[in-house]
Structure 1
């Protein structure tokens, strides 16, 4: 299966860091990279107020994109789009059918979550797609030890299931299912249900690194995930995000949003069908 990774770039440091990470990942997977630069032309775009929208002219952008692709080890092409980020990414997804969208995450730890506006959150709302969000502190190395956080509910990845299974197999990855329970009484049954839910999807069929499970009793699911992720035992966090996790006014209160905004490890978000 030929894979491609769609990488968002804007010539700022978080995006450059994510591109280096995606390059290492693409080499390991035998995948190609598609770099997408979105010129956010609308003056109504809230990012204009933040100073995080580039004001480069067309010629400079073309030269910069050419320079980026030439420095990459994986085969790469670059393209540019105009307008709002989420709509531009949705159009690129339709054209390229990538396995993943890869983007960087700037430091938002000192900003209240309700005030944070990020491309990852916007894209998940507009075009749910497997997405890898890379924080600045993550080393650009291939992840092999994955922490998969699951609740006790069944899930399906729909049309993304085959691509994700191939991704896990090609890395190759060792998967640890983490179930965060509110109390000791529900911990064991919740973890067993989480592992069963994973096995029903078929995602664990070709894991050469093996499958393990872990249970943590914690008042906050997101806090528990971040606590285990910070132990140094894992290379990346995997979240299964149901539609309620990224739609609606309460998005910033979801586990997905909190882990995305605060994890020191790269976070792979898998939207359910």
Structure 2
């Protein structure tokens, strides 16, 4: 099966930017894009004047035409579909249909809209799929093929599931240098010899080259700020974060390090869900 990405899109500039970047990432492996618009059209209510049911087919047709035009503008083969379903159900339909390596979506530059998107779209997608999720900011430098990729980890143990490890051939296809940053709280317990090397051990099955973790001290007890500082100093144009289950399955997602990095990171972020302890590894059939 030809590898594919599912890009969740609306008709915004942020969505088109995300689709364009996804096309660039997948180009070395001839990845095909599936542009998926999740349409949840409200109907007439006794309290609010929403879209009347008879106009829903026309609205869907107009959206489909706009998506087809977007697909034609991308630098890679792309298919566009409109799914009329709640977001988690639509995402599962798209995964069953395309078996994507990852999902992608754009991030609004407006703080309020960004928080709403993370809570109402990114969080449900991670909950429903446990798949790698690429988030592309609406603003910042024009995204191009990655040249410097930064992977940020802390000192806690993590394991990557099969869905994350399946990205290894894709990462190896990029003409990029990979760095691993280990964020450690200043004044924390002393590390044992070789512990820094063990931090990056789960990444050996993912990264194309072995990269010894560089230590970044978190003097201000703000790991999100430390990760952003490391990204700026290393001039990384793509950031990989390990999204632990508590970061995206808990009700405190808005307080997580992941969410705070996403609020301020000027470059795309690829979230790699960590495998929860005690949960068996799995990978959908890709044949």
Q: How does the TM-score come out when normalised to structure 2?
A: 0.80
- The size of the alignment, in residue pairs, is 262
| Counterpart for residue 18 of structure 2 | 18
Task: Map 1:116-155 onto structure 2 (within 5 A).
Answer: 117-136=119-138, 137-155=140-158
Aligned to 2:181, which of 171, 178, 181?
178
After superposition, the C-alpha distances for 1:117-168 in whole angstroms (9 at most, x for unaligned) are: 3421221122221011000124220113111111122322222144121122
| Counterpart for residue 201 of structure 2 | 199
User: Is 1:169 aligned to residue 182 of structure 2?
Assistant: no
CA distance in structure 1 between the partners assigned to 2:68 and 2:15 by the alignment: 16
Aligned to 1:252, which of 248, 251, 254?
254
Kept in 2: contact 1:230–1:264 (CA 8 A): no
CA distance in structure 2 between the partners assigned to 1:251 and 1:102 by the alignment: 19
Kept in 1: contact 2:160–2:202 (CA 8 A): no
Output the aligned Cα RMSD: 2.9
Kept in 2: contact 1:151–1:194 (CA 8 A): no
Kept in 2: contact 1:3–1:31 (CA 8 A): yes
Structure 1 unaligned segments of length 5 or more: list them.
49-53
> Shift in Å at residue 29 of structure 1?
2.9
Name whichever of 93-102 and 106-115 sits farther off.
106-115
Larger radius of gyration: 2
Task: Map 1:14-163 onto structure 2 (within 5 A).
Answer: 14-42=14-42, 57-109=59-111, 117-136=119-138, 137-163=140-166
CA distance in structure 2 between the partners assigned to 1:91 and 1:196 by the alignment: 38
Kept in 2: contact 1:109–1:262 (CA 8 A): no
CA distance in structure 2 between the partners assigned to 1:79 and 1:98 by the alignment: 15
**Tell me, what secondary structure is at the counterpart of 1:147?**
strand
Kept in 1: contact 2:114–2:263 (CA 8 A): no
